[in-house]
Chains A and B, each alone.
Chain A
């Protein structure tokens, strides 16, 4: 601690260089926070996904994209099935087409199927007792500025209503908690109300069926069994386990790997920058270090000083950069168009640990060579200024 003023004096010898280095490191760690934070979100999604749930949808889209409710009953009768729920969706927009909206119209089985969602029994009762009601998650409520008692109107031109209109006016009953894999937030309404409001020929069909298995390890086999059951029917299905459905590496490109590459490129950039700054600073103050050694500083003491000089901008830059990333993650939802589905980065303990490790590594690697040179220096030569 008592050497801190010494380190500070060394850093502030060139204030412009110190500030520019700090800014550079800060920016790299902002990027680090956003990309590794994005991966933290993917991890959280994976952790929240349950082993014992299977999602079943129609194999073909368009007119064939819906499944008669009889299929849910057939699945419920399969061996190993503990429970079944289903939904359809009112999908369209709120006021203008760019405000895309998706309201899940859920059946009564949903409460038991997704029992761990942060929705209380009273809130479920509210939903089940109010046909046109919806439960709105906190993130969605913030996005659309909704509170209990508000009406929320969705225009859904692709859904045929019995009354010939395409407008759905839904009544906000309560604001409920968010779920990591329902990004960015969700809205739940009543399937029964939705179903009866549809035109003839559109009724009694679900777009997705959820299946709970009695054996969590058997969910992959269950997905196969369901698809096999309907394989040669008029409506083949496509089933996935919830874990697989929310695994980001299944999205077509491995975004998690891309995130790590970007973060590494940023770290490489600042490693080079700080290493150079330190090397330069040590070169300029060679005689100074020789003096320190003359008055009794050990090799390790001098090397420690160099390490601290490198660590100061790294640690400070990492703290500022991660803080900036956390701030950005907070304001990002209001900058992006609603309903875009972009997962939001989160700065959690894992991100902080990786940032700390990276900052320490950059400081260590960038100070290693100059420190070694100081260890091997010839004091007399250095003092003579040659």
Chain B
């Protein structure tokens, strides 16, 4: 009898006896279900936050911030420097022949969360090209703010996450309250933010500079041309990044801490589940001692017996992992949430489910190896005599 056939027969026998060992086997399923469920629930946050940022980044755009600035809010581009940047080669031109680039503002502004607590979101300034640069931008209701007018538009996510974000509500500014005239959506982090006209907001806040400049590249390859123009001009000291890379960096910074916490909690729970898995598989091997010995006496070799034990552990663990992932998905996937000033959708992606199930399988392999060796090594006669 060849090895594969032996493995198949022994494994089939194993699985047939599973119902008799139902509750014991459930230790593995529940242990890994809880572990993977907790891990993926926590990671649904980091995945959701990452997605919201990554979607905002377009490889066809470049962002310019002051030299070394870590975020748009702590970057400053002076009024005098801005035209030099806009005239640089590598930037696409609009129909009017003017550079397709926009002077932007970005700052924190207090909001009242839906649960009544105080929080912050981002107030952006869009210049005349702010919308033209973003094909993903759509007005959902109301109208766009008028340039030069003290008006605001709000992202669609702000309406569920914060209070007083309806059309007709107002945003407190240093020179009084500005009415909200429209609701927009971009499908990314901007959905949790507020937008006004750059120059008008600047006047209200007595600001001397912009925060960043966003530009459409004339072609995806023209980033280098643009960058070279920026670095060779001594009058300009800025950092230029592809917009998608910029948001990849920010998404990484925003989620790094949460990812570490999710992995630490996951690792601790995994250790607990691993001991449970070992326990169950040892019990299974000892319960099936005589059955295994009979198979060995009939001429089955040790290897298929060991493999069958591993297969059982893996199947149970994968089942547990899937259940945990399903629970995380049912509870959280698609729910709108906010972390700090980032509004996003909790996401249990297929990749995350894959991670959870593979994680569970690895735990099963680790937890199954010692019991399977024990099963294969046990002297046949001793096992047959055992009560």
In chain A between 24 and 38, which residues have their CB closer than 8 angstroms to a CB of chain B?
24, 27-28, 30-31, 34
The residues of B that contact A265 with a CB separation of less than 8 Å are 34-35, 37-38, 269
The residues of A that contact B173 with a CB separation of less than 8 Å are 236
A60, B279: Cα distance in complex, Å: 58
Q: How far is the CB of B41 from chain A (nearest CB, A)?
A: 8
Contact of B30 among A64, A232, A244, A272 (CB under 8 A): A272
Q: How far is the CB of B377 from chain A (nearest CB, A)?
A: 15
Contact mask for chain B residues 84-114; partner A; CB cutoff 8 A; 1 contact, 0 none: 0000000000000000000000011110010
Q: Confirm or deny: A344 has a beta carbon within 8 angstroms of a beta carbon on chain B.
A: no
Taking a contact as CB atoms under 8 Å apart, the answer to whether B74 and A158 are in contact is yes
A60-B174, A61-B108 as given contacts; A27 in contact with B117, CB under 8 Å = no
Taking a contact as CB atoms under 8 Å apart, the answer to whether B279 and A269 are in contact is no
Q: Confirm or deny: A207 has a beta carbon within 8 angstroms of a beta carbon on chain B.
A: no
In chain B between 99 and 153, which residues have their CB closer than 8 angstroms to a CB of chain A?
107-110, 113, 117-119
Q: Confirm or deny: B234 has a beta carbon within 8 angstroms of a beta carbon on chain A.
A: no
In chain A between 92 and 108, which residues have their CB closer than 8 angstroms to a CB of chain B?
none
A64, B208: Cα distance in complex, Å: 11
A244, B23: Cα distance in complex, Å: 47
A247, B269: Cα distance in complex, Å: 28
Taking a contact as CB atoms under 8 Å apart, the answer to whether A31 and B272 are in contact is yes
A34, B268: Cα distance in complex, Å: 11
Q: How far is the CB of B80 from chain A (nearest CB, A)?
A: 16
Taking a contact as CB atoms under 8 Å apart, the answer to whether A270 and B107 are in contact is no
Q: Confirm or deny: A78 has a beta carbon within 8 angstroms of a beta carbon on chain B.
A: no
From DSSP, what is the main secondary structure of chain B's interface residues?
Answer: helix
Taking a contact as CB atoms under 8 Å apart, the answer to whether A31 and B276 are in contact is no
Q: Confirm or deny: A252 has a beta carbon within 8 angstroms of a beta carbon on chain B.
A: yes
Taking a contact as CB atoms under 8 Å apart, the answer to whether A59 and B110 are in contact is yes
Q: Confirm or deny: B206 has a beta carbon within 8 angstroms of a beta carbon on chain A.
A: yes
Q: Confirm or deny: B336 has a beta carbon within 8 angstroms of a beta carbon on chain A.
A: no
Q: How far is the CB of A190 from chain B (nearest CB, A)?
A: 26
Q: Confirm or deny: B340 has a beta carbon within 8 angstroms of a beta carbon on chain A.
A: yes
In chain A between 249 and 290, which residues have their CB closer than 8 angstroms to a CB of chain B?
249-250, 252-253, 258, 261-262, 265-266, 268-270, 272-273, 276-277, 279-280
Q: Confirm or deny: A203 has a beta carbon within 8 angstroms of a beta carbon on chain B.
A: no
Q: Confirm or deny: A16 has a beta carbon within 8 angstroms of a beta carbon on chain B.
A: yes
Taking a contact as CB atoms under 8 Å apart, the answer to whether B118 and A240 are in contact is yes
In chain A between 186 and 209, which residues have their CB closer than 8 angstroms to a CB of chain B?
none
Q: Which residue of B lies closest to A17 (CB)?
A: B279
The residues of A that contact B172 with a CB separation of less than 8 Å are 59, 231, 236
Taking a contact as CB atoms under 8 Å apart, the answer to whether A31 and B27 are in contact is no
The residues of A that contact B175 with a CB separation of less than 8 Å are 232, 234
Taking a contact as CB atoms under 8 Å apart, the answer to whether A273 and B107 are in contact is no
Q: Confirm or deny: A5 has a beta carbon within 8 angstroms of a beta carbon on chain B.
A: no
Q: Confirm or deny: B15 has a beta carbon within 8 angstroms of a beta carbon on chain A.
A: no
Contact of A28 among B42, B119, B208, B272 (CB under 8 A): B272
Residues of A in contact (CB 8 Å), total 48
Taking a contact as CB atoms under 8 Å apart, the answer to whether A273 and B31 are in contact is yes
Contact of A253 among B35, B208, B265, B337 (CB under 8 A): B337
Taking a contact as CB atoms under 8 Å apart, the answer to whether A276 and B174 are in contact is no
Q: Confirm or deny: B273 has a beta carbon within 8 angstroms of a beta carbon on chain A.
A: yes
Q: Confirm or deny: A235 has a beta carbon within 8 angstroms of a beta carbon on chain B.
A: yes
Q: Which residue of B lies closest to A258 (CB)?
A: B42
Taking a contact as CB atoms under 8 Å apart, the answer to whether B118 and A244 are in contact is yes
A31-B265, A60-B107, A273-B31 as given contacts; A232 in contact with B282, CB under 8 Å = no
A262, B35: Cα distance in complex, Å: 9
Taking a contact as CB atoms under 8 Å apart, the answer to whether A249 and B275 are in contact is no
Residues of B in contact (CB 8 Å), total 50
Taking a contact as CB atoms under 8 Å apart, the answer to whether A24 and B34 are in contact is no
Q: Confirm or deny: A182 has a beta carbon within 8 angstroms of a beta carbon on chain B.
A: no
Q: Confirm or deny: B278 has a beta carbon within 8 angstroms of a beta carbon on chain A.
A: yes
Q: Confirm or deny: B352 has a beta carbon within 8 angstroms of a beta carbon on chain A.
A: no
Q: How far is the CB of A355 from chain B (nearest CB, A)?
A: 15
Contact mask for chain B residues 273-300; partner A; CB cutoff 8 A; 1 contact, 0 none: 1011011101100000000000000000
Q: Confirm or deny: A164 has a beta carbon within 8 angstroms of a beta carbon on chain B.
A: no
Taking a contact as CB atoms under 8 Å apart, the answer to whether A272 and B269 are in contact is no
Taking a contact as CB atoms under 8 Å apart, the answer to whether A269 and B273 are in contact is yes
Taking a contact as CB atoms under 8 Å apart, the answer to whether A24 and B276 are in contact is yes
Q: Confirm or deny: B213 has a beta carbon within 8 angstroms of a beta carbon on chain A.
A: no
Contact mask for chain A residues 50-80; partner B; CB cutoff 8 A; 1 contact, 0 none: 0000000001111110000000000000000
Q: Confirm or deny: B271 has a beta carbon within 8 angstroms of a beta carbon on chain A.
A: yes
The residues of B that contact A258 with a CB separation of less than 8 Å are 42
The residues of B that contact A261 with a CB separation of less than 8 Å are 38, 41
A9, B134: Cα distance in complex, Å: 73
A253-B337, A262-B38, A269-B269 as given contacts; A61 in contact with B107, CB under 8 Å = yes
A250-B117, A276-B24 as given contacts; A232 in contact with B268, CB under 8 Å = no
Q: How far is the CB of B125 from chain A (nearest CB, A)?
A: 12
Q: Which residue of A lies closest to B371 (CB)?
A: A16
Contact of A61 among B37, B73, B269, B280 (CB under 8 A): B73
The residues of B that contact A64 with a CB separation of less than 8 Å are 174, 205-207
The residues of B that contact A16 with a CB separation of less than 8 Å are 279, 282
Taking a contact as CB atoms under 8 Å apart, the answer to whether B119 and A280 are in contact is no
Taking a contact as CB atoms under 8 Å apart, the answer to whether A27 and B268 are in contact is yes
Q: Confirm or deny: A21 has a beta carbon within 8 angstroms of a beta carbon on chain B.
A: yes
A16, B276: Cα distance in complex, Å: 11
Q: How far is the CB of A328 from chain B (nearest CB, A)?
A: 10
Q: Confirm or deny: B351 has a beta carbon within 8 angstroms of a beta carbon on chain A.
A: no
The residues of A that contact B7 with a CB separation of less than 8 Å are none
Taking a contact as CB atoms under 8 Å apart, the answer to whether A279 and B272 are in contact is no
Taking a contact as CB atoms under 8 Å apart, the answer to whether B268 and A253 are in contact is no
Q: Which residue of A lies closest to B38 (CB)?
A: A265
Q: Confirm or deny: B339 has a beta carbon within 8 angstroms of a beta carbon on chain A.
A: yes
A24, B277: Cα distance in complex, Å: 10
Q: Confirm or deny: A360 has a beta carbon within 8 angstroms of a beta carbon on chain B.
A: no
Q: How far is the CB of A369 from chain B (nearest CB, A)?
A: 10
The residues of B that contact A244 with a CB separation of less than 8 Å are 117-118
Q: How far is the CB of A364 from chain B (nearest CB, A)?
A: 18
Contact of A235 among B174, B257, B265 (CB under 8 A): B174
Q: Confirm or deny: A376 has a beta carbon within 8 angstroms of a beta carbon on chain B.
A: no
Taking a contact as CB atoms under 8 Å apart, the answer to whether A252 and B269 are in contact is no
State the 10 A-B residue pairs at the shortest beta-carbon distance, nearest first.
A27-B272, A24-B275, A250-B117, A20-B279, A272-B30, A269-B34, A23-B275, A265-B34, A61-B108, A273-B276
| 6 A-B pairs whose Cβ atoms sit less than 8 Å apart in the complex | A21-B279, A64-B205, A236-B172, A252-B339, A272-B276, A279-B23
| Chain B residues at the A interface, C-beta cutoff of 8 Å | 23-24, 26-27, 30-31, 34-35, 37-38, 41-42, 45, 73-74, 107-110, 113, 117-119, 172-176, 205-208, 257, 265, 268-269, 271-273, 275-276, 278-280, 282-283, 337-340
List 13 additional A-B contacts (Cβ < 8 Å) besides A244-B118, A273-B276: A20-B282, A31-B265, A59-B109, A60-B108, A61-B73, A158-B74, A233-B174, A235-B174, A236-B172, A236-B174, A253-B339, A261-B38, A269-B272
